[in-house]
C-alpha cells in the first residue's frame, strides 16, 4: 500500500518522523497515517487513537473516505483537529 509519509521520508532524507502523521487539506480532508483504531464516528466528530494519544476531528458532514489498518482519510468540512 502506498504510504505517503514513508515516501517523503525517503525522498527528502528526513531523519525523524513521528509515529503518526496527519495532513489537513484545506479543511476539506484529513489524511492520517499510523492510526491505531477508530474511537468515535459521527457526522460531527471523528476520533481515533494514535500512539500515546487520541486525535479528535470536529466538523460537519464528516465521513471516512478510506479506512485501512494504518491509514484513514476523513472527508467533510473540518473545523478543528485536536491531539490529546
Partner 1 sequence: MKFNFELKHNIKYKIQGYNFEKLLNNLIKNEIKLKKIKKLDDNILEFYSYKNNDKIIKNNINKLNIKIINEKNFGFLFFLKNIFFRVGLVSAIIISIISLFLSQMFVFKIEVYGNEKITKQEIISCLKELGVNTFTSKNSINTFELEKNISEKIPSISLVSVMTKGTSLIINLQEKVINDEYQNVGLFEPLKANLNGRIKSIKLIQGTLNCKVGDLVKENDILVYPYIIDSSGNKKSVKAEAEIVAEVWYESRITHYDECVKTYETGKTIEKNNLYFLDMPIYVDKKDVKFNQYETKVSYTYLSSFLIPIKIEKILYIETASKTEKVPFEDVKESLINEVKNQVYQKVENKSVINEYHTIISNLGINVVSYVVVVEESIVNLQ
DSSP class of residue 18?
A: -
- Report the residue number, 6 or 63, with the smaller CB distance to partner 1: 63
- Report the residue number, 12 or 84, with the smaller CB distance to partner 1: 84
Shortest reach from residue 83's CB to partner 1, in Å: 19
Question: Interaction with partner 1 in 33-72: which residues (CB under 8 A)?
Answer: 37-43, 63-69
> Exposed (0-12), middle (13-18) or buried (19+): which is 20, by Cβ within 10 Å?
buried
CB-based contact 24:58 (threshold 8 Å): no
User: From CA 18, how far away is CA 28, in angstroms rounded?
Assistant: 23
Shortest reach from residue 3's CB to partner 1, in Å: 14
6 lies in the site for partner 1, by CB under 8 A? no
Residues that bind partner 1 (CB under 8 A): 37-43, 63-69
Amino acid at each position: 500500500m502506498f504510504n505517503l509519509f514513508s515516501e517523503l521520508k525517503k525522498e527528502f532524507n528526513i531523519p525523524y518522523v513521528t509515529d503518526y502523521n496527519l495532513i489537513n487539506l484545506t479543511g476539506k480532508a484529513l489524511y492520517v497515517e499510523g492510526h491505531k483504531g477508530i474511537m468515535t464516528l459521527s457526522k460531527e466528530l471523528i476520533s481515533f487513537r494514535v500512539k500515546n494519544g487520541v486525535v479528535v476531528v470536529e466538523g460537519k458532514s464528516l465521513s471516512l473516505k478510506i479506512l485501512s489498518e494504518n491509514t484513514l482519510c476523513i472527508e467533510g468540512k473540518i473545523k478543528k483537529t485536536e491531539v490529546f
